[in-house]
A and B are shown apart, each in its own frame.
Chain A
Amino acid sequence: MKPGRFAYCLAGSVDEALALLAEHGDEAKVLAGGQSLVPLLNMRLAQPQVLVDISKVEALTTTSVDQGLVRYGAATVHRRFEDGDVDDATGGLLRAAAGGIGYRAIRNRGTVGGSLAHADASAEWPVVMAASNASVQVRSASAQRAISARQFVTGFFSNALDDDELITEVCVPQLPADTTWGLHKFVRKLGEFSESLGVAILRWDGDVVSAADIWLGAARDVPVRATPLEERLVGTAQPIDVAEAEAALAGVLPAGGDAEARYRRHLHAVTLSRAVTDAITRRTA
């Protein structure tokens, strides 16, 4: 359980990091908090030649509020969301989600950009950022672009970044006042990756939902949008029970399968139902 050999370099700035990535291409990996990468190195599932440490680049740890967006530096650690040290664009969803990531010792080092780059669809940030319609700001030595969080995870542990690109910021739209959120995570042991993760963001027009974003984690290789549940919610304030959620998921997840597959679908229905109820309850409470 020791990493293979690699070379290490500490980037002093974003430009330095980008120059190193341009130089080393796909032989390099970016090291932020290392809470996903170093376990992979230890197990030798990843064997990069070069690690580019960005954890001390100050420009990647600042947060700013700008025209209805909160821009989080990519190397902002989970603890700062959990403790409310940074503005929460969602009025509490980011804070609640961060508190569920791993353990305190992990949250002290792990970063929002690192978690997104790791692209595990059972982790909090890929699902929550998709539900929040965040955008991921990335730079290379020669260009910069924004990638929607909804397109950022492209498959199992795969992301939309090119080899020479670095996430610099994650920009989350501030939720309007008439919006509520709900979150439900199922794990057998606290701190593990989700077995199912439901996120609901509901926009209200008076007593009924006018728009809904319902996203599901740990169901596929990428976060899954539960469109049938979104359509069902618009125009009502009626919770969705587990049986109804399970039926609605038929349009989103593959049908049939063995007992394990049926159990998983049921579990996802439970977390989505509870996330929706959580969001409705926040409106009526």
Chain B
Amino acid sequence: MTMAAADVVDVSLRVNGTTRSVHGIPARTNLADLLREHLGLTGTHLGCEHGVCGACTVQLDGQPVRSCIQLAAACDGAEVVTVEGLEGPAVDALRESFSAEHGLQCGFCTPGMLVSCHDIVTRCSDLDEDTAREELAGNLCRCTGYAGIVRAVMRARERLAGTTDVVASSGGGSS
């Protein structure tokens, strides 16, 4: 890794299990724009672009992060999972429950919601509705009033409670 400051950077990272390299992108490129504009992964949505709305949330090295305030240059060597690459029982449960409980309407917030909800249902032991609401505070939805999303999280959690090894289902995130 060079120490010299550079206006353009090369970034090589794993995205949804595949190694991707981009060369000569502006240093100011954020991870969301790298995904959307250089890698064609437009499932990740950009809302506020200053870390507040949560629409752009992706997994970076297994943890949810805001891709709009994450520089692509700082992701060299990282493992990224977007909504396109989420897989495993937790996400299967969330997809079913978001549909069944009306967890979305326009769908703009849904990619970030799914990444955050995946973290919530796999990380939070003793998840109750209040905790789900607190954990969802960082993802804005302007359609549903959140009631459907909270029900979807609780429904997915219940479904997963009957299965084993929930945490191991983290959809390609590095561990």
Contact = CB atoms under 8 A, between A and B. Distances in A.
A51 B73 CA distance: 11
A152 B47 CA distance: 34
A169 to B, nearest CB: 22
A177 interface: no
Given A10-B73, A31-B71, A104 B138 contact: yes
Interface stretch (B59-67, B80-88, B91-99, B154-162): B59-67
Given A7-B6, A20-B3, A105-B138, A42 B69 contact: yes
27 contacts: A1-B48, A1-B49, A2-B28, A5-B7, A6-B28, A7-B5, A8-B27, A9-B2, A9-B4, A9-B6, A10-B3, A34-B69, A35-B51, A35-B69, A38-B69, A39-B51, A39-B69, A42-B68, A42-B69, A43-B50, A53-B74, A102-B51, A104-B64, A104-B116, A105-B63, A106-B66, A109-B65
B74 to A, nearest CB: 5
B39 interface: no
Interface in B126-147: 134-135, 137-139
Nearest to B124: A104
Nearest to A8: B27
Contacts, number: 115
Nearest to B66: A105
Interface residues of B, number: 38
Nearest to A187: B137
Given A3-B28, A191-B137, A12 B50 contact: no
A11 B3 CA distance: 6
